[in-house]
Structure 1
Amino acid sequence: MTVQDVRAFNRFYTNVIDALDYSRRLYAPYTLTESRVLYELAHSPHTDVADLRAELSLDAGYLSRILNRFERDGLVERVPSPRDPRRRRITLTARGRETADLLGERSGQAVGALLSKVPAADRSRLAEAMRTIREILSDPRPPRAEDVVLREPGPGDLGWIVQRNAALYAAEYGWNADYEGLVARIVADFAGDHDPHLERVWIAESEGRPVGCVMCVRDEVPGAARLRLLLVEPDARGLGIGDRLVGAVVDFARGVGYREVVLWTNDVLTAARRIYQRHGFVLVAEKPHRSFGRDLVGQDWRLDLRATPE
Structure 2
Amino acid sequence: MASYTLRNQLLPGDLSQVALLHATIYYEEQGFGMGFETYVMESLVEFYRQYDPQQDKVWIVEGNGRIVGFLLLMHRPNFQAQLRYFILDKAYRGLGIGKKLMQEWMDFYREKGYKGAYLYTTSGLDSAAHLYESMGFQKASEKASEDFGVPLYEIRYELY
Letter in 2 for 1:184: M
Structure with larger RCO (C-alpha < 8 A, sep 6+): 2
User: Does structure 2 retain, via aligned residues, the 8 Å contact 1:284–1:300?
Assistant: yes
User: Does structure 2 retain, via aligned residues, the 8 Å contact 1:148–1:207?
Assistant: no
1:174-207 CA distances to partner (integer Å, 9 max, x unpaired)? 1001111111011111222322111122101235
1:46-80 CA distances to partner (integer Å, 9 max, x unpaired)? xxxxxxxxxxxxxxxxxxxxxxxxxxxxxxxxxxx
Partner Cα separation in structure 1 for residue 63 and residue 159 of structure 2: 29
Q: Tell me what 1:299 maps to.
A: 155
Among 120, 123, 144, the residue aligned to 1:288: 144
Q: Is 1:193 aligned with 2:50?
A: yes
Q: How does 1:97-246 map to 2 (within 5 A)?
A: 143-144=2-3, 147-206=4-63, 208-220=65-77, 222-246=78-102
Among 252, 272, 293, the residue aligned to 2:108: 252
Partner Cα separation in structure 1 for residue 54 and residue 34 of structure 2: 32
Equivalent residue pairs, number: 160
Letter in 1 for 2:42: R
The runs of 5 or more residues in structure 1 that have no matched partner are 1-141, 305-310
The runs of 5 or more residues in structure 2 that have no matched partner are none
1:268-290 CA distances to partner (integer Å, 9 max, x unpaired)? 11111111011111111112122
1:145-189 CA distances to partner (integer Å, 9 max, x unpaired)? xx4434322221111001110111011111001111111011111
Partner Cα separation in structure 2 for residue 249 and residue 303 of structure 1: 12
Letter in 1 for 2:8: R
Partner Cα separation in structure 2 for residue 148 and residue 178 of structure 1: 31
Q: Tell me what 1:23 maps to.
A: none
Task: Return the structure number with greater strand share.
Answer: 2
Helix, strand or coil: the match of 2:146?
strand
Of all paired residues, the percent bearing the same amino acid is 31
Partner Cα separation in structure 1 for residue 106 and residue 117 of structure 2: 7
Partner Cα separation in structure 1 for residue 139 and residue 49 of structure 2: 31
Q: Tell me what 1:262 maps to.
A: 118
Q: Which has the larger radius of gyration?
A: 1
Q: CA deviation at 1:143?
A: 0.9
Helix, strand or coil: the match of 1:230?
strand
Letter in 2 for 1:201: V
User: Does structure 1 retain, via aligned residues, the 8 Å contact 2:145–2:154?
Assistant: yes
Task: Return the structure number with greater helix share.
Answer: 1
Q: CA deviation at 1:250?
A: 1.5
**TM-score for the superposition, normalised by structure 2:** 0.92
Partner Cα separation in structure 2 for residue 223 and residue 151 of structure 1: 21
What's the Cα RMSD here?
A: 1.6
